Amino acid sequence: MDLNIWLAFFAASWVIAISPGSGAVLSMSHGLAYGVRHTSATIAGLQLGLSVILLIAGVGVGALLLASATAFTVVKVLGAGYLIWLGVKQWRSPVHAAHAPQQAADGVAGLQPGLPTVRQRVLIGFMTNVTNPKGIVFMVAVLPQFIDPLRPLWLQLLILLVTSISVDLVVMHGYAFLASRAQRWLATAKARRAQNRVFGGVLVAMGASLMLVKRAA
């Protein structure tokens, strides 16, 4: 892969990662609720999902999904339903006022109540990205521009995958860190309830918006 092509993809990866989406909302939500360290598992799941989407688009399966109305609709409905379910769960999540001793021990207030296991956080992140039809549409449209058909496909996909994941890891941890810094102002049960409803509402809205995604012509 030529350096200028890689630099173009590197720049595009930053734009893609920074653009608000379900992954960013999930990273901020978990960062605010559980702290950056615990959110790393969620972000790892997001990267696994991103890897699957990039590889699917890279080997051409994504194009087949876009060509099949049934397959695309199934992915779209699953992705929308999953985000809506996450949003409703977040909205209805029980709240607890933070206590100073717990904050000192964990680094972030209110971490323990309702903290999902590492496996659950990884799965939530993975499902959020892998069932996102917008990601498939975008990768199928963009990825071919950075692939040289005269060179080995697997090596190019590996370079693009490592680049995309590296950038996304930095950005998602940045979102989680910024959200976790707001924890001190959201220590009361009332504030945490408002937080749950804001993030829950955003996830539901994103899930509903996925139903409007159409196949490429």
Burial bucket for residue 169 (CB in 10 Å: 0-12, 13-18, 19+): middle
- What b/e sequence results for 154-167 when a residue is b if at least 16 CB atoms lie within 10 Å of its CB, and e otherwise? eebbeebbebbbeb
**Nearest-angstrom CA–CA distance, 19 and 210:** 16
- The backbone region for 110, taken as left when phi is positive above 0, alpha when psi lies in -120 to 50, beta otherwise, is left
- What 8-state DSSP symbol labels residue 91? H
Which residue in 126, 169, 147, 128 sits closest to 63, CA to CA? 147
Burial bucket for residue 123 (CB in 10 Å: 0-12, 13-18, 19+): middle
pLDDT of residue 105: 33
pLDDT of residue 172: 94
Q: Which amino acid is at 120?
A: Q
pLDDT of residue 49: 92
Q: Which residues are within 8 A (CB) of 139 and not within 5 positions of it... i.e. 6 or more apart?
A: 53, 54, 56, 57, 58, 62
Sign of the Cα torsion 172, 201, 107, 191 reads positive
**Nearest-angstrom CA–CA distance, 41 and 120:** 9
Per-residue pLDDT of the chain (217 residues), as tens digits, is 778 888 888 887 887 788 777 888 889 888 888 889 999 999 999 999 999 888 887 776 556 655 667 766 776 777 677 667 777 876 776 655 444 333 333 333 344 456 788 999 999 999 888 887 667 767 766 776 777 767 787 888 889 899 999 999 999 999 899 888 876 665 556 666 776 777 777 767 766 766 766 655 5
**Nearest-angstrom CA–CA distance, 67 and 64:** 5
